[in-house]
Structure 1
């Protein structure tokens, strides 16, 4: 009998890659997504149910019908500047909806959870690379909404049989190397995706937000991880919990930082297009530099990234954007 997994937000960019890998690994998957940013066509495996996590009565019905063995919870809003402008929406959508999900897990006896968190919980950490035991100090509502969810999960686990893995994502890029799925959001806020769009003339310029950070070239430094390796971290986490592993928190990155300007220059070099770049003001809530320590996830999960290379991330993203552009012709 195959194991039944619920994936919230499974029609989104990261979620669709996780769902595909779950399907390829033999899991029976139900995807629950309101499709506000997710794309139904990106769901290559499992059964998609369109719905919102705020509808707790419907959630109870779905939990009762399918009897899940585990939950992978990705559904969230995740744009930092937007969270500064609309904090209540972020606390409602990210934190309160996580609580709704945990209520269902509690009543229906689901005792394994993988939670999609973020490096934004670290804020302006003075540790580089940052380890999982650093005290989180988020500087924007998005990061705080995720940290609150982490704390709620941990508190509930102490009072129940729940075991969890919390994955703190760093900056995600790239696409399925086979070209089946990739970044499909209608309003992508990912640097690599936007730079690729500028290279393909789908947008006239690329805007850099902040050139006066305390970094070598003045632009923000981030740790970029290929979406395929991030998806694999979820599969590894699920198997870890299935094998009886204890609750853990893991960073998901590569342990290397690249500035915005470095990323832009690599996109230009790989695409062969010298697109125009506009220097803009910093966005509210953006830290100067965040990179991950990944020794823990490698040791505990034996996670072995296959695409640990900025050029590989950019090349797969560019190929995906070219494919989308061709399909529109």
Structure 2
């Protein structure tokens, strides 16, 4: 599917870092970066932009902070067509933690928030725009949001300067009908703005949901190498690039990074489709309980997990 306005963002380091506390080696991050450059990917999200008051470097790696000194060690001045992104969570960063764009190699800061944080997210995103960055707002966990709350959030966003808003399937619980509905809803409520998609793979629908969003007007597409990411992971970028058939993208460099850098991580951290993640997705629940189960000796006792989650659901 060839549309020149489509932009693909690789989130391997940022989202994959949720599985190993962003403790990737420089070699790994540099390989992902070079692979994205050679493959013609539009954006690479190299990590989170977080306050050192919120997290300790003794517990998390440098890609939780995306300090420019660390990034430049990997990319230099990034004299390529690949743009670099970092994600900022509301409540985990202060405005003074963000330098002017003229002092940073980062091009885009994506603000992640829940619906009740929308005012703070707009403030932070517009602050980043004033400093010279591209911005998006990624509205998380919308599968748990009731319609009036979502309508109000979209109304607030429509009056903001923020140019791009993401549909985020935080729990991997959405089917194509929900994705189609939300993309159309966002586009109607946000005239003149772009819509993106960030899909999780709990029910093995991340790729199909990304395609559905694309068909109905989304133009910013998130994906990761080998689907690497929290829990069930994300839309695999290699599958997406193979599908798009856009001549500006190349598949081979991505396969090289997967083979030599990403695949070996599967021996250390266990992401991707597993039945416990299916269960939380089907129940529209956060995957943290499934991740905890996957780290236990009972990881293959799917029946026990389903019963536990069913009891939990009854208590909700």
TM-score range, shorter chain: 0.3 to 0.5
TM-score (norm 2): 0.35
TM-score (norm 1): 0.34
